[in-house]
Amino acid sequence: MKAETKIRMTKQRQVILEELCKVKTHPTADEMYQMIRKRLPKISLGTVYRNLDILSGLGMVLKLDVGGTQKRFDGNVNPHHHVRCSECGCVADIMDLPVDPDLDSKAQKVTDFRIKRHSLEFIGMCPSCQEAEKRRVA
Ligand SMILES: [Zn+2]
Ligand SMILES: [Zn+2]
């Protein structure tokens, strides 16, 4: 009985991981729930939340500390920067800007903290919001 529960959990986690890795949108837990429900109709929002927490605790997904009201998740755990749209709140990856490995030690030198990592978030206006603005102005 117990083993069965474990397998089911693993399956749920696997589906969550697969769906998260498919998208580049950095979905919120609610958005993840909508995606997962298509494959696992019986899953609850709470289960999705719990599994996302477990996966991020295991380092298999990233929980983004970006601004905005809801936590967003990322299936790409390689270090990379993010850019957030100030208008619609969407989050995109910046893959062509290398993460500076020296920044952590530089920060450590000027604080009393033991630095573990850093995250950089750029704020801008995404292409579709720029288009929308152009249409409004025109
Ligand atoms: Zn936008
Ligand atoms: Zn990302």
Q: What is the pLDDT of residues 75-104, one digit of tens each?
A: 998 889 999 999 998 999 998 888 888 999
Residue 126 has pLDDT above 60, yes or no: yes
Any idea of the CA torsion for 77, 25, 30, 38, to the nearest 10 degrees?
A: -100
The structure's pTM equals 0.78
Query: In terms of C-beta distances under 8 Å and separation of at least 24 residues, what long-range contacts does 44-50 make, across chains too?
Result: 47/12, 48/16
Assign 116 a pLDDT band (cuts: 50, 70, 90): confident
- Give the residue carrying structure tokens 């899953």: 43
Q: What is the pLDDT of residues 23-67, one digit of tens each?
A: 999 999 999 999 999 999 999 999 999 999 999 988 899 998 766
Q: Could you tell me the distance, in angstroms and rounded to a whole number, from the CA of residue 81 to the centre of ligand 2?
A: 7
The domains located in the chain, with CATH, are 1-75 (1.10.10.10), 78-138 (3.30.1490.190)
Q: Could you tell me the distance, in angstroms and rounded to a whole number, from the CA of residue 86 to the centre of ligand 1?
A: 7
